[in-house]
Amino acid sequence: MNALDRLRDPSDRTLAVLMLAPAFLLLALIVVYPIGRLLWNSFFDLRLSGGGEARFIGFENYLLVLTDKDFWNATRNTVLITLITVPGALVVGLALALLANLPFRRQWPVRLALLLPWALPLAFAGLIFAWFFHSEYGVVNDLARRLGGSAPRMWLLEPAFAFAAICLTIIWKTSSFMALILLAGLQMIPKSLYEAAEVDGASRWQQFWQITIPMLMPSIIVALIFRTITALQTFDIPYTMTKGGPGNATETLAMLIHKTTIDYLDVGYGSTLAVFMFLLSLVVTGFYLRRIGRNA
Amino acid sequence: MRQPDNLFSARALRLIAAAIVVVNGFFPAVWILLTSLKTEAELVRKPITWLPHELVLNNYVQAFTDQPLLKYLGNSLVVALVSTAVSLVVAALAAYAIARLNLRHRQLVLTCIVASSMFPLVTLLVPIFETMRHLSLLNTYTALVLPYTVLSLPVCTLVLVSFFQSIPKDLENAAMIDGCTRLGALWRVVVPLAAPGVFTAGILAFVNAWDEFLLALSLNASASMRTLPVGISLYQGEFTFPWPVISAALVVAIVPIAVLIALFQERVVGGLTQGGLKG
């Protein structure tokens, strides 16, 4: 075989390497190298604004992070948002999936109603819901007034209420993704299981807990993993709704990293914050992966 | 097993269920549409009105003149389309190698690609920002196309691997016996047959890129390079919030993606459940 032939019809092994090369080059540039760079940077005093040279400072950034009130506040907010919105989106998403799984004559309006929130950019959801929660002209206070006549809330100006508004927005935005995944899982459960249960005299409630939930478990776990990973990265919704305020009551870790690095150009310290966030998500995914390992 | 008198209530129940799902999904978009048609005066009326008393289109004119909305729209389109195209090519090559070629550790290779989506993009923001700054790529399309391609790589690869695996190997072998090279067979036989899969993966990649906010905000901050989510979030002044104009801009930005998913619902749902990714 001459060289030209080989070029035109390469062996499987060569072809495989060539075909995988672009993907791995991109991963190297955008994921692997940045992770290495991140660790490297975290040991330096590296500020792009001052124009000074990078100075090696060992673990100083790490010690600084541990005593940084803003870091602990942002971590607390991030963990709270995750703990509230992941189960919240699961419950709402499951309810939506069960409703959407009823036998409708026309499927598309229901399916589109699940797809639209999924496809809507998070930043837009933040903007729209900021308008919903507007203290004077928002529809939320209007509804509350019509239903119960309660005094209007300054939703985005009181820390606890701003936090609640953000969690509600995230749950609305992410529950439709949950519902889509769970709906696919629901449709794979054989009808015969329910028929058999009916013959045995099982109630709807028993069928739900004995058949639906166990059969849905694989879908639930997949949805939970991806939702948790994205919840830890929460940025868009609080950024567009409150900019982290009032004060820093709704500032997340992602927002703190963004502020430190992009606004203040403090790359060294920002990197160290990112390393901590990295560890946090590692702990969480590790927890999930262990659970999956045990279930499998 | 149902009693005849249950028929009505079962139907009513279904309608209520549909209404709940539809209102939940559509209400925010509808509310923004209504807001975009109200005058500023009506917007600050109390108690608030639900339906606009008189329809105005002025907010749409302002949305395009107050800020370069058309420019944002163009930027979003270019970045989303280019990164979708690049993701598809890169993912298709990788997926074909994983699905079809005599590759050792194929599972490991696939896991490596998928695991890259486990890394929080935020933690990579700092070094990506630094890299793009070094390469003088800040405020260019490339600065977003590269990371967005990687963002969509896992889901595209997963969807395409399962599509390639569903195409009978014999078809390819037949083409090769007829004188096609391996790559020729890939291009003439496999790619056309995998077109639905390529399309599904493409929509998912497009939505990923269309929606991304943090990188776009950090890497392409200059006015002429902003994407839609970044541009629209910047309509607010320090103390002002021109809601009718923002609403009009949002409607302009939501319509393309809404039309896209309305047209290709089944493909999108299929791709999501195959790839099972992204919230």
Residue pairs spanning A and B at CB distance below 8 A: 289
Smallest CA–CA distance, residue B83 to chain A, in Å, is 12
Position B14 pLDDT exceeds 50: yes
Q: What confidence category does residue B277 fall into, taking pLDDT thresholds of 50, 70 and 90?
A: very low
pLDDT in tens, B71-85: 999 999 999 999 999
Three-state DSSP state, A45? strand
Residue B46: exposure state from Cβ atoms within 10 A (0-12, 13-18, ≥19):
exposed
Which residues from B are below 8 Å from A275, CB to CB? 123
Residue A112, domain member (yes or no)? yes
In terms of CA atoms, which chain B residue is nearest residue A140? B48
pLDDT at A232 over 90: yes
Q: How many CA atoms lie within 13 A of A251 on its CB side?
A: 18
| CA distance, residue B213 to nearest chain A CA (Å) | 7
The least confident of A92-106, B131-145, B180-194 is B180-194
Do B278 and A136 touch, CB atoms closer than 8 A? no
Question: Between chains, do A270 and B126 touch, taking CB under 8 Å as contact?
Answer: yes
Can you give the three-state secondary structure of chain B, one letter per residue?
A: CCCCCHHHHHHHHHHHHHHHHHHHHHHHHHHHHHHHCCCHHHHCCCCCCCCCCCCCCHHHHHHHHHCCHHHHHHHHHHHHHHHHHHHHHHHHHHHHHHHHCCCCCHHHHHHHHHHHHHCCHHHHHHHHHHHHHHCCCCCCHHHHHHHHHHHHHHHHHHHHHHHHHHCCHHHHHHHHHCCCCHHHHHHHHHHHHCHHHHHHHHHHHHHHHHHCCHHHHHHCCCHHHCCHHHHHHCCCCCCCCCHHHHHHHHHHHHHHHHHHHHHCHHHHHHHHHHHCCCC
| Domain, as residue range, for A199 | 80-250
What is the residue whose two structure tokens read 């803003």?
A: A70
Comparing alpha-carbon positions, the chain B residue that sits nearest to A256 is B122
Whether B129 sits inside 8 A of A253 (CB atoms) is no
Class of CATH domain B58-278: mainly alpha
Name the residue among A20, A139, A232 with its Cβ closest to that of B48: A139
| Residue range A171-200, pLDDT digits in tens | 999 999 999 999 989 988 998 999 999 898
Q: Taking 60 as the threshold, does the pLDDT of residue A289 lie above it? A: yes
Residues of A with CB below 8 A from B212's CB? 121
Residue B5 has pLDDT above 60, yes or no: no
Element (H, E) at A44: strand A44-45
Percent of chain A with pLDDT over 70: 94
Q: Hey, where are the domains in chain B?
A: 58-278
Q: CB distance B24–A96 less than 8 Å?
A: yes
In the predicted structure, residue A295 carries a pLDDT above the cut 70: no
A224 contact B CB<8A: no
Of B127, B214, B265, the CB nearest to A236: B214
**Separation between Cα atoms, residue A63 and residue A57, nearest integer Å:** 11
Chain B residues inside the 8 Å CB shell of A245: none
Low-confidence winner among A281-295, B2-16, B94-108, B128-142 (lowest mean pLDDT): B2-16
**By the CB < 8 Å criterion, does A253 face chain B?**
yes
3-state secondary structure B95-123: HHHHHHCCCCCHHHHHHHHHHHHHCCHHH
CA distances from B189 to B100, B174, B184, B186, B267 (A): 13, 10, 8, 6, 21
Question: Are the Cβ atoms of B214 and A258 closer than 8 angstroms?
Answer: yes
Identify the residue with better confidence: B49 or A77: A77
Q: Angle between the B6-36 and A159-186 helix axes, to the nearest 10 degrees?
A: 130
DSSP class of residue A102 equals S
Q: Note whether residue A150 is domain-resident.
A: yes
B19 CB within 8 Å of a chain A CB: no
Report whether B160 contacts B92 (CB < 8 A). Answer: yes
CATH number of the domain bearing residue A175: 1.10.3720.10
Phi, psi of B97 (to 5 degrees): -60, -40
Which residues in chain B are contacts of A120 at CB distance < 8 A? 28-29, 211, 254, 257
Query: Element (H or E) spanning A117, and its range?
Result: helix A108-119
Q: Is A122 among the domain residues?
A: yes
pLDDT (average), residues B222-250: 87
Q: What is the mean pLDDT of residues B241-246?
A: 86
| Overall number of domains in chain A | 1
Which of residues B2 and A115 earns the better pLDDT score? A115
Spatial distance between the Cα atoms of A147 and A144, rounded to a whole number of angstroms: 5
Structure confidence at residue B163 (pLDDT)? 85
Which neighbouring-strand residues pair with A34?
none
